[in-house]
Amino acid sequence: MSPKYRWLLARGRVAAIPAVAVAAVAAGAIGVTSASAQKTAHPASGTISKSVLAKAKAYVTAAEQAPKWSAPGPAVNAKAALKGKTIVTFPISSEIDACNAKGQQGYLDSEASALGAKVIPLQSNTGPTGWQSNLSQAITDKASAVVMLCGPTAAAIAPQLATLKADHIAVVDGNYNQTGGNPAFPTTGIDAESGVNTIQGVTTDLADALVNLNGTPAHILLLDSTQVAQDSGALGGLKAAIKTWCPSSCSIEKTEYFTTQDWSSPSETSEITSDLQGDPKINTVIVTFDGMADGIESTIASDAATHKGLKMYAWGGGLAEIKDVGTGGTYAGDSGPDEKWDAYNQLDQVIRLLSHKPAAPVAKEIAPNIFFTKSNAASFSVGGAGTEYSDKAWSNGAFVTDFQKLWGVTK
């Protein structure tokens, strides 16, 4: 994926996401520092017990299994809700495969059209100014609903959201959850959200790192981004996982925060190189959003010679990223959701709102992760080529039929 304005994932997904520069909106733009770092006090050294390793291994094994679908809410009549309605869709950035017409946007648009809606897919390559323009276009087009894929922050588009609400145009923000209460990601003006599980993703990363280190505590370099909604939630999730499994021995040695514009850029690579050279204790790199991983794989591989057990783990579910995991190098694991499942969660919210029903709680509209390693990475994309998403790992897309039954499309 291109580094500009990325999320995981998708997503990915996700969902653009650390000293932390809090995202602030001024004159329609999100202002954050280009890169900043935060050091963490080191706990006492020690080893990880066999019982903890067994629990970590079991956690990873469970995360590699196909998730089960459950209905996010009561049955609704999709065709009645969408017939003759206009839906405008756009991603946080059209350069992100998980979010654009190759991923969530394409899947949502196709299914919504098949159910009778008129879909107007828009591009988005300029951040907040592009989101604002697209929302204004939705007003001009007299849309019934707008779907923003991969979590544009409501803080950057507050005036447009207020106008949409006044015009009774429903707004769904996809992958907009696990914000950790961060005020930079308000929900004012948003009628419904869908979610991703970045917290589980980084928890699985730590579990797999402990298994691979085989008793040695994880000393982590964490890469994060304040521009993506799940930033605060993911950091809190990783700290909670450390507290559960290795509170007196594992450590976050340093946290680096990068804006989406710097993901996989020379400046990011330079910072990571400096961090690894300056701290030989680091043996685990956890990347909160895998769009940051693309440009640093060779750096991690080269530094593994002087950092015993050094491997990289991520969350996001990017096509290129999980293909790289499949090569079996130092990029050891990456988890993420099925982008079609993610899109169907968002469409489900649209159907509910246009049926004049309450939106489902975002906790019920979360696209579940699968953790990918060398052993199963090939199932994530068609033919394992890393160019087209596949539903193979998700029970061959059985969730599609489940959603369609819920919507009254099939029996």
Q: What is the pLDDT of residues 295-307, one digit of tens each?
A: 899 999 999 999 9
CATH number of the domain to which 144 belongs: 3.40.50.2300
pLDDT category, 96, cuts 50, 70, 90? Answer: confident
Q: Please check whether residue 274 lies inside any domain of the structure.
A: yes
Q: Which of 136, 160, 193 marks a domain boundary?
A: 193
Q: Please check whether residue 240 lies inside any domain of the structure.
A: yes
**pLDDT exceeds cutoff 90 at 25:** no
- Same domain flag for 136 and 234: no
- Same domain flag for 31 and 138: no
Q: Cβ(352)–Cβ(291) under 8 Å?
A: no
**pLDDT exceeds cutoff 50 at 70:** yes
Q: Please check whether residue 94 lies inside any domain of the structure.
A: yes
Listed range (80-89, 123-132, 400-409) with the worst mean pLDDT: 123-132
- Same domain flag for 304 and 168: no
- Same domain flag for 316 and 189: no
Predicted TM-score of the model (pTM)? 0.88
- Same domain flag for 381 and 261: yes
Q: Please check whether residue 258 lies inside any domain of the structure.
A: yes
pLDDT at 43: 52
pLDDT at 40: 55
Q: Which of 193, 208, 228 marks a domain boundary?
A: 193
**pLDDT exceeds cutoff 80 at 238:** yes
**pLDDT exceeds cutoff 80 at 38:** no
Q: Cβ(34)–Cβ(262) under 8 Å?
A: yes
pLDDT category, 15, cuts 50, 70, 90? Answer: very low
- Same domain flag for 174 and 218: no
Domain that holds residue 245: 10-66+198-337+366-406
Q: Please check whether residue 349 lies inside any domain of the structure.
A: no
Token representation of residue 319: 């096509």
- Same domain flag for 317 and 378: yes
Q: Please check whether residue 71 lies inside any domain of the structure.
A: no
Q: Which of 145, 178, 193 marks a domain boundary?
A: 193
Q: Cβ(276)–Cβ(248) under 8 Å?
A: no
Q: How many structural domains is the chain composed of?
A: 2
Q: Please check whether residue 312 lies inside any domain of the structure.
A: yes
pLDDT at 19: 27
- Same domain flag for 186 and 202: no
- Same domain flag for 204 and 311: yes
- Same domain flag for 251 and 318: yes
Q: Please check whether residue 21 lies inside any domain of the structure.
A: yes
- Same domain flag for 145 and 184: yes
User: For residues 184 and 30, what is the distance between their CA atoms, to the nearest angstrom?
Assistant: 9
- Same domain flag for 292 and 206: yes
